[in-house]
Amino acid sequence: MRLLDTNRYSFKICAATAVLAAMLVASGCAKEKPKPKPAPAPVITAKAVIKDVPFELKAIGNVEAYSIVSVKSQINGQLMKVYFREGQEVAKGALLFTIDPRPFEAALKQAEATLARDTAQLNNARADAKRYEELVKKGYVAQSQYEQFRTNADALEAVVMSDKAAVENAKVQLSYCYIYSPIAAKTGSYLVHQGDVVKANDDKAMVVLNQIQPIYLNFAVAEKYLAEIKKNYTSGGLRVSAVPSGEDRRPVEGKLVFIDNTVDKATGTIKLKALFTNTDRRLWPGQFADASLKLSTIKNALTVPAQAVMTGQQGQYVFVIKPDMTAEVRPVTTSLSQDNDTVITKGLQPDELVVTDGQIKLVQGTKVVLKTGVAPAGAGK
């Protein structure tokens, strides 16, 4: 009986060992099963192309009226009439206001009457002086008498000259009653109204005039471009285009007319001013506009979409799609970005495909599939 139990025990040990061996073999087979290959990464691509690229500086500008005139009265008086509507365009020399002229007309008449009186007295004094001049020559009167009449005539002549000046001044004061526009401009809102009493040279203007044809656009660019701007400005001028804020239309064309005489130390920028004819009234004083200053044109530049250029620890690079549909990390050197294009000076050849979307899934050698774009030459062979 004891011998039989031993055999049974040995049999159980052998069975357990066999089961454990089988589990180990199965486990080993599972580890050796090959992993599935990852699916190709979907990407969007574009070709590197050669084209002329304009070298333009972009900035946000502020529109400024060509001329701003704050119209004020030069005399005291009651405003009798306003001859324009708010926001109306007025020509140069157009009548804007009339101030009560009656006190000034009366002053002019008084000055003219005084001049007439004194002129008559002068004429009489001159006649007396001439008569006594003849008498003194004949010895009928003393020289002192003649000198007295001549002095009186000279004094009256000075009085008449003063009266003439008073008449001219009265005319000038009367002319101030009629206020004309000094420029062709667009009027602002009424700051005084008919019936108001206005004061000479008051702090408050009667109306503000803005000349908007032509018109200025002020903007600033980084000081590093100053040398290039000065070189092109002196050699024939620079063109500036502008798109008013909120518009999605063709730009307005103008020219650079002013470069500030100092660089702003706080911002490191130089202030510029462009002039536009503004015949279509698209630019408005105080409005913001997107300004573009064209400095030059880079001929036959190799370009790629700006979103294709990535920046890493080693510098800038792009993913190039090789003919075997794998991605290659390619270091590149760029010169400038304009609109949606970046100019490549080193690292790419024309017509090579670069990835513009999907770079996050790529490393060196990653298989790709094109979502859009043209497959590289030799793909699929």
Q: 294 and 222 in one domain? A: yes
SS (H, E, C) 326-342: EEEEEECEEEEEECCEE
In a domain, 23, yes or no: no
In a domain, 18, yes or no: no
Q: 197 and 77 in one domain? A: yes
Tell which phi-psi region holds residue 351, choosing left (phi > 0), alpha (psi between -120 and 50) or beta.
Answer: left
Q: 96 and 181 in one domain? A: yes
Structure tokens, 199: 């004061």
Q: 196 and 167 in one domain? A: no
How many independent structural domains does the chain possess?
4
pLDDT tens for the chain, 381 residues: list them: 444 454 555 555 545 555 555 555 555 544 555 667 778 889 999 999 999 988 889 999 999 999 999 999 999 999 999 999 999 999 999 999 999 999 999 999 999 999 999 999 999 888 888 887 778 777 777 787 878 878 888 899 999 999 999 999 999 999 999 999 999 999 999 999 999 999 999 999 999 999 999 999 999 999 998 988 988 887 667 899 999 988 888 999 999 999 999 999 999 999 999 999 999 999 999 999 999 998 888 889 999 999 999 998 889 999 999 999 999 999 999 988 877 889 999 999 999 999 999 999 889 999 999 886 554 544 444
Q: 107 and 86 in one domain? A: no
- Global pTM? 0.69
Host domain of residue 200: 73-100+177-204
For residue 82, the domain's CATH number is 2.40.50.100
Residues 6+ apart with CB under 8 A from 41: 327, 358, 361, 362, 366, 367, 368, 369
CA–CA distance, 352 with 323 (Å, rounded to integer): 10
In sequence order, the β-bridge partners of residue 79 are: 99
Q: 116 and 95 in one domain? A: no
Q: 260 and 323 in one domain? A: no
In a domain, 30, yes or no: no
